[in-house]
């Protein structure tokens, strides 16, 4: 690994781990708030001081595996810096906005989420990109779940499942592509993925990116999740996931023509559903789809002007969309309501929040002197320059819809219009805490500052020289924009009765996976579970019960037969031990004397049995020949055979037994007697006979 390079994401991750350790008591609350503000500021300062180049590379030689790759955690250039700048700035604003939140989990999840986004932006290879990409998904879902509603729980699970699908598509495409190319590098030259000669691997990677960008039909997760997140969680989420995807598209897919129609469809699709929406945060979520459509179309155009426009619009969008979510989040936080049908007339209770939200609405509508005017027009101009007139005109049409619902509908039906809040909602309504207002003030000032002083933004773009040559404040552009906005405003007030929100649900693409999920659940519960139950019962009767019976019989045999024999032997030896216990008198001399006596007796018995006890066998039975006998008693027998049986010599005699001979079995009990008068002819096999 090269010399140590401090990654901005590392500051956030380590800082998040220390959040629970910072005291937050009544007297130390300011200490915790100071710490929460300090960490994002350090990240912002670190990004400002990073030089261009490649840093933080870790090489894996893959010895013995045939694999070798290099992870690049820091690839710093103009494209990554413009996104890193605005992401870290938004982290400061989002943290300040939720400074009064006492739940440590929300701060930890938000910072890890931002760390994942910044890690993707500065990643120099596909592996590092994928790791931080998944870190974003799995950390941001907690910002939805922390709201604690049943609807939030379901939305979080759907959000996670959709993003896992996108992550799998991205991983499959990366592995396929890198197997062909032989490199994991995420090239900065915009040609590594060969967008003009796309392969299936290229399309898989693109699917992973455009899912996070919420391109229809892969978009329904966005309004579903952002509308159910916590009031401050939605401020973070509106800024990072989709814009990180825009960065990835700028890095790898600039000039891919299919993105132009996709971006135009996004711009129009989001506007239509935003007009129909009754929930103010879901409306803003749908409009994220519309605004990101401008960026996707700019990436598809692929020219330097278009890429500059996509980056500039992403920068401006993070600020004014964050401001809009702050305003609507303040309404939700103070009143507990976010539906237009439950709000109205709040300008008397929350006048400053209204002003800040109006500034956000004018910025997103591309009003002159506001940030959207100097960024959105760059993309439209690039479309006309490339003779994509249909794309340019449709994007202009979408901008009128933006002013209709975000610049007019949101402020009117929340702060003006008919007063429809419930009495308890009206009583709770008031200006939010100071930190929420402070975050909205900073975002509002930046929206106006960028619109009035364009070099602040244009100098940070990937192609600053070309950006400096672009002048948005031409007479033609100003009058064109004002005409569109004024006619849109006139249409709004003429059709106001038709635009009154209704408490309805608009069907979207999520209907398919919601219904598909229910169908999958029914199949799993009815069909698959029935098969599983049948197989389980078959196994129980055909396999498990016979096995248990066999085990039971074996257990009985072991307990009563094997254990009985073993225990019987053990008890016998134990009884012998008890009988011999009398020799333990406690004196060494007596114990030794007894031991020597027993040993001498055993040796003597052994000698008698092995050397002087004749062993005879009658038939097949080995027997001992005991008693007194002489050579004469055996002289009448004739030796007819001799040899060795094992290690013992033997002689075999046949004749008349003329003397009494006692046979014993195993040297213990007499078996029979051979009487001389019987003159019985017998055969004797005598082993180890002592000669006189």
pLDDT, residue 493, reads 86
pLDDT above 90: residue 667: no
pLDDT, residue 643, reads 45
Q: Which residues of 29-49 are buried (b: 16+ CB within 10 A; e: fewer)?
A: eeebbebbeebbebbbebbee
pLDDT, residue 94, reads 96
pLDDT, residue 3, reads 66
Short-list 98, 99, 106, 133, CA closest to 119: 133
pLDDT above 60: residue 54: yes
pLDDT tens-digit readout, 501-521: 888 777 778 777 777 777 877
pLDDT tens-digit readout, 193-223: 767 788 899 999 999 999 999 998 888 899 9
CA distances to 190, 231, 459 from 196, rounded to whole Å, are 11, 43, 30
pLDDT tens-digit readout, 404-463: 888 888 889 998 877 778 888 888 889 999 999 999 999 999 999 999 999 999 999 999
DSSP 3-state assignment of 644?
A: strand
pLDDT tens-digit readout, 460-479: 999 999 999 999 999 999 99
pLDDT, residue 345, reads 86
pLDDT tens-digit readout, 305-350: 999 999 999 999 999 999 999 999 999 999 988 888 888 888 889 9
Q: What percent of the chain shows pLDDT beyond 70?
A: 82
Q: How many CB atoms lie within 10 A of CB 545?
A: 11
Question: Phi and psi at residue 56, in whole multiples of 5°?
Answer: 60, 40
pLDDT, residue 192, reads 55
d(CA 217, CA 162) in angstroms, rounded, equals 12
The domain spans of the chain are 614-687
Mean pLDDT score of the chain: 82
DSSP 3-state assignment of 338?
A: coil
């Amino acid at each position: 690994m090269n010399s140590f390079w401090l990654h901005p994401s590392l500051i956030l991750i380590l800082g998040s781990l220390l959040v629970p350790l910072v005291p937050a008591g009544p007297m130390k609350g300011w200490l915790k708030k100071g710490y929460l503000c300090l960490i994002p500021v350090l990240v912002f300062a670190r990004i400002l001081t990073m030089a261009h180049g490649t840093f933080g590379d870790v090489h894996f030689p893959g010895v013995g595996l045939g694999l070798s790759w290099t992870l690049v955690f820091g690839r710093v250039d103009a494209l990554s810096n413009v996104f890193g700048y605005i992401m870290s700035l938004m982290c400061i604003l989002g943290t300040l906005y939720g400074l009064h939140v006492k739940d440590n989990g929300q701060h930890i999840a938000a910072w890890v989420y931002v760390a994942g986004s910044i890690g993707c932006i500065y990643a120099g290879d596909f592996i590092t990109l994928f790791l931080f990409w998944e870190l974003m998904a799995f950390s941001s879902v907690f910002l939805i779940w922390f709201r604690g509603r049943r609807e939030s729980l379901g939305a979080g699970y759907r959000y996670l499942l959709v993003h896992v699908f996108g992550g799998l598509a991205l991983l499959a495409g990366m592995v396929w592509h890198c197997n062909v190319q032989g490199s994991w590098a995420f090239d900065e030259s915009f040609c590594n993925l060969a967008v003009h000669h796309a392969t299936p691997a290229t399309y898989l990677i693109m699917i992973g990116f455009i899912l996070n960008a919420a391109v229809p039909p892969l978009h329904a997760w966005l309004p579903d999740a952002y509308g159910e997140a916590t009031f401050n969680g939605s401020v973070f989420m509106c800024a990072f996931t989709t814009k990180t995807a825009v960065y990835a598209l700028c890095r790898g897919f600039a000039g891919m023509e299919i993105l132009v129609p996709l971006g135009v469809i996004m711009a129009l699709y989001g506007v239509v559903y935003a007009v129909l929406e009754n929930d103010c945060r879901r409306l803003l979520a749908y409009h994220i789809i519309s605004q990101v459509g401008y960026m996707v179309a700019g990436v598809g155009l692929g020219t330097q002007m278009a890429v500059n426009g996509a980056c500039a619009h992403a920068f401006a969008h993070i600020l004014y969309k964050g401001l809009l979510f702050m305003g609507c989040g303040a309404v939700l936080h103070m009143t507990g309501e976010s539906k237009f049908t439950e709000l109205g007339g709040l300008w008397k209770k929350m006048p400053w929040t209204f002003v800040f939200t109006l500034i956000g609405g004018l910025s997103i509508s591309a009003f002159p002197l506001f940030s959207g005017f100097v960024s959105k027009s760059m993309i439209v101009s690039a479309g006309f320059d490339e003779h994509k007139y249909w794309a340019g005109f449709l994007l202009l049409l979408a901008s009128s819809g933006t002013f209709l619902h975000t610049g007019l509908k949101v402020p009117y039906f929340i702060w003006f219009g008919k007063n429809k809040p419930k009495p308890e909602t009206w009583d709770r309504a008031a200006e939010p805490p100071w930190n929420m207002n402070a975050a909205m003030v900073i975002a509002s000032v930046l929206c106006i500052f960028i619109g009035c002083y364009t070099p602040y933004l244009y100098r940070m773009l990937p192609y600053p020289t070309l950006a400096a040559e672009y002048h948005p404040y031409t007479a033609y552009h100003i009058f064109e924009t004002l005409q569109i906005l004024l006619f849109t405003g006139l249409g709004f007030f003429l059709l106001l009765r038709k635009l009154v929100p209704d408490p309805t649900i608009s069907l979207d693409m999520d209907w398919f996976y919601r219904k598909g999920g229910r169908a999958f659940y029914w199949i799993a519960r009815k069909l698959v579970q029935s098969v599983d139950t049948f197989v389980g019962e078959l196994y129980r009767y055909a396999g498990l019960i016979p096995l248990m019976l066999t085990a039971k019989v074996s257990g009985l045999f072991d307990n009563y037969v094997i254990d009985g024999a073993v225990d019987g032997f053990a008890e016998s030896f134990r009884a012998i031990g008890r009988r011999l216990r009398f020799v333990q008198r406690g004196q060494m001399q007596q114990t030794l004397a007894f031991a020597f006596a027993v040993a001498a007796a055993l040796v003597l018995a052994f000698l008698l049995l092995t050397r002087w006890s004749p062993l005879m066998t009658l038939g097949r039975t080995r027997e001992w020949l005991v008693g007194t006998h002489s050579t004469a008693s055996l002289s009448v027998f004739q030796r007819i055979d001799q040899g060795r049986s094992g290690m013992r010599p033997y002689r075999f005699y046949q004749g008349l037994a003329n003397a009494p001979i006692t046979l014993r079995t195993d040297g213990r009990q007499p078996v029979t007697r051979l009487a001389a008068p019987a003159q019985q002819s017998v055969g004797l096999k005598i082993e180890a006979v002592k000669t006189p």
